[in-house]
Amino acid sequence: MRLLRMKPGHGEVLIAEGDVEVAEQELALIEAFRAQLDQGMWAAVPVVAADGRRQAELVRDFDEVPRDAERVIFFPRAAGGR
């Protein structure tokens, strides 16, 4: 699983990468996940819906991330624009 974060002036940045089946790596992923949420990021997981179309799921806790997810994408939380 890879944790990616969108950044201005850069595009996505790799925050962390690891295998959720390896306890040590899973802990590192959870720590990095929480750090991003603490910084005010939203976390989304790209998934394929039952009808075959792609969509995303917003997750608030690492437990909500599907175990087989390849990526979690962090992006700044939405704010009302002008």
Partner 1 sequence: MLIALGVCAVVAVVLAWEVIASSLKPALAHWQLRLASGWGEDVAAYDPGRERRAEHRARELLRSCVDEEDWEMYRDLGFLRVWGSDGSGTGAGHGVAPYAYLIYPHKPIVAYVPRSSRLLSEYCVDFPDTERPFGSVRLPPSDDVLAKWMALTADERRLIENANLHLAGRQLDPDAVRSDIAALSRWEHERRRRRDAASLRAT
Contact flag: residue 39 with partner 1 (CB under 8 A): yes
Residue closest to 3 by CA, chosen among 64, 12, 14, 11? 14
At its nearest, how many Å lie between partner 1 and the CB of residue 29?
19
- How far is it, in rounded angstroms, from Cα 31 to Cα 28? 5
Sequential DSSP letters for 20-60: TTSHHHHHHHHHHHHHHHHTTEEEEEEEE-TTS-EEEEEES
Q: Per-residue x/- mask for partner 1, residues 52 to 71, rule CB under 8 A?
A: -xxxxxx-------------
Q: In terms of CB distance, is 12 or 26 closer to partner 1?
A: 12
Residues that bind partner 1 (CB under 8 A): 4, 6-12, 39-40, 42, 44, 46, 49, 51, 53-58, 73, 75-82
